[in-house]
Structure 1
Amino acid sequence: MDTIRSVLVPIHREGWKFIAIFAVVTLVLFWVAEPLGWLGVVLTCWCAYFFRDPPRVTPVRDGLLISPADGVVQMIERSAPPEELGMGADPRQRISVFMNVFDVHVNRSPVDGIVTTLAYRPGKFLNAALDKASTDNERQSMRLKLKGDKEIAVVQIAGLVARRILCEVQEGRELKAGERFGLIRFGSRVDVYLDDGMVPLVCVGQRMIAGETVIAEDGATEQPRSGEVR
Structure 2
Amino acid sequence: MSDEQDPGNPFDRALADGRSEVTSTASEVDLRDDDDAEFVSEGMGAETDIENRAGGHYTPECIKHTLQRLLKHGLLESDRRPNEYALALAHQPELNRLLEPLDFELRIDEIRGLALLAIHRPFADQDSEDGDPGHLLVRRQRLTLDQSLLVAILRQHYIVHEQDAGIGAGDASLSIDDLLPQLQVFFGDSGSDSKNENRVRQLLDQLQAHAIVSEVDSAGQFTLRPVIAHLANPEALKALLGHYDKLVNRES
Task: Output the TM-score relative to the length of structure 1.
Answer: 0.25
By percentage of residues, which structure has more helix? 2
By percentage of residues, which structure has more strand? 1
Q: Which is higher, the Rg of structure 1 or of structure 2?
A: 2
Task: Output the TM-score relative to the length of structure 2.
Answer: 0.24
